[in-house]
């Protein structure tokens, strides 16, 4: 009905795009966007790069939201959901009624689980406040220890080297950026080593030491890395605690159907880091994608499906796309690299610093990773979406090479 209320929980990129899509697809009733942070929505990729480096300030990462006809409830977090009464309970004790609800609460950093997590000088990086605090610390840091060599850890390592800070990058896995597969991981290790980063890979952390302030990170083999600043970059955890006891399926994100509607609840949709849904690249198993492009696209589709009649809903099967900037290298990936059984370089070479590696599973291409190979990635994204096999990709590349040789 036109006057029924809609609520978006999460003043994030996904939350903003969902709210915009609700208006664009005809929701005319009250619209409320709830956000635990006091900021209006902002974009997160610069937090570990341009903003952390000082090339951007807080105002540069804010997303345009002024034209949205919505009430913003900022600085207040969702505390519970009563889907029988269709009420969202907030941590200030108030409740918001809804006819349509979008869950876009995102994720938070996984913290160090042992003693030392609360020491001065120990940081995580997820929010704008986190980035500004870490930037301030890096201005006087001599040695930064980074626990976790994934996206955030590697990007911060590159940014910190720009400050002239000594960096040690630590991870239990044998190569950085493990989500991009072993070929890109080995190239990433060489990249960071070439920029002076000390690598401690294949080694876990036993302790974080200090009295009130960080003194050292102790590795599992006893090596003691003296550091005055540490970043814990161990991945993210979806923000779903407030939904426990609500009856919604959590595994660990919110379980959705093909249309991004919450399983068993057609009046609720979910998008972004918090959503899990069946994807064809995963043989229709549930996936959860923690990347900017997915958050925006999924939020738009989830909101549209939330308002659409059942026979007009559109399955969300977009091929994920994500990137990382480190030093002068742009690493891009499409598909689901974590699903690949093996990778092979099909264009360029690792030695030349420009290549594309494809990941395959059961003969089908499920991912492609480009190392300074941006020009070709849209093509790989398209063929992955078409379900193309490895042999077909190799044949297309061979034909393209012959055509260029004749030109």
pLDDT at 55 over 60: yes
Tens of pLDDT, residue by residue over 161-179, are 999 999 999 999 999 998 8
pLDDT at 400: 74
Average pLDDT value for residue range 211-219: 98
**pLDDT > 90: percent of the chain:** 92
Fold adopted by 6-108+237-312:
FAD/NAD(P)-binding domain (3.50.50)
pLDDT at 271: 98
pLDDT at 267: 97
Tens of pLDDT, residue by residue over 291-301, are 999 999 999 99
328-406 is classed in which CATH architecture? 2-Layer Sandwich (3.30)
Average pLDDT value for residue range 52-72: 95
pLDDT at 2 over 70: no
pLDDT at 1 over 50: no
Length of the chain: 407
pLDDT at 324 over 60: yes
pLDDT at 402: 77
Where do the CATH 3.50.50.60 domains begin and end in the chain?
6-108+237-312, 111-234
Where do the CATH 3.30.390.30 domains begin and end in the chain?
328-406
Average pLDDT value for residue range 53-68: 95
In what helix (H) or strand (E) does residue 229 lie, and over which residues does it extend?
A: strand 229-232
Class of domain 111-234: alpha beta
Write out the DSSP string of 311-352. Answer: GG-----PPPEEEEEETTEEEEEEE-GGG-SEEEEEEEETTT
pLDDT at 289: 96
Tens of pLDDT, residue by residue over 22-47, are 999 999 999 999 999 999 999 999 99
pLDDT at 407: 61
Spell out the SS3 assignment of 240-298: CHHHCCCCCCECCCEEECCCCEECCCCCEEECHHHEEEEEHHHCCEEECCCCHHHHHHH
pLDDT at 121 over 50: yes
Say if residues 254 and 286 touch (Cβ distance below 8 Å). Answer: no
């Amino acid at each position: 009905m036109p006057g029924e209320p809609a609520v978006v929980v999460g003043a994030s990129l996904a939350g903003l795009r969902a709210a915009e899509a609700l208006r664009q697809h005809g929701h005319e009733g009250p619209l409320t966007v709830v956000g635990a942070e006091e900021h209006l929505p902002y974009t997160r990729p610069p937090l570990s790069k341009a903003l952390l480096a000082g090339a951007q300030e807080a105002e540069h990462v804010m997303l345009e939201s002024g034209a949205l006809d919505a009430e913003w409830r900022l600085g207040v977090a969702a505390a519970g959901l009563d889907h029988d009464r269709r009420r969202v309970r907030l941590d200030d004790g108030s409740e918001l009624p809804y006819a349509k609800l979008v869950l876009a609460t995102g994720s938070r950093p996984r913290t160090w689980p042992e003693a030392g997590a609360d020491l001065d000088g120990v940081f995580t990086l997820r929010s704008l406040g986190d980035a500004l605090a870490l930037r301030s610390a890096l201005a006087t840091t001599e040695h930064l220890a980074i626990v976790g060599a994934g996206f955030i850890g590697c990007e911060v390592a590159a940014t910190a080297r720009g400050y002239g800070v000594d960096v040690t990058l630590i991870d239990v896995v044998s190569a950085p950026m493990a989500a991009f597969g072993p070929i890109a991981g080995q190239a990433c290790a060489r990249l960071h080593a070439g920029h002076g980063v000390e690598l401690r890979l294949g080694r876990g952390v036993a302790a974080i030491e200090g009295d009130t302030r960080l003194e050292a990170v102790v590795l599992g083999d006893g090596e003691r890395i003296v550091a005055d600043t540490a970043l814990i970059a161990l991945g993210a955890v979806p923000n779903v605690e407030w939904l426990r006891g609500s009856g919604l399926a959590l595994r660990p994100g919110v379980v959705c159907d093909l249309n991004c509607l919450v399983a068993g609840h057609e009046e609720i949709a979910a998008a972004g880091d918090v959503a899990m849904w069946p994807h064809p690249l995963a043989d229709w198993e549930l996936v959860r994608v923690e990347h900017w492009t997915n958050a925006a696209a999924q939020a738009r589709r989830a909101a549209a499906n939330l308002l659409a009649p059942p026979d007009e809903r559109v399955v969300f099967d977009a091929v994920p796309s994500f990137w990382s900037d480190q030093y002068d290298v742009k690493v891009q990936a499409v598909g689901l690299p974590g699903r690949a059984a093996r990778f092979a370089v099909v264009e360029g070479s690792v030695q030349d610093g420009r290549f594309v590696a494809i990941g395959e599973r059961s003969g089908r291409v499920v991912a492609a990773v480009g190392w300074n190979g941006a020009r070709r990635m849209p093509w790989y994204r398209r063929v992955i979406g078409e379900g193309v096999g490895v042999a077909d990709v190799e044949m297309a590349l061979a034909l393209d090479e012959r055509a260029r040789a004749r030109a």
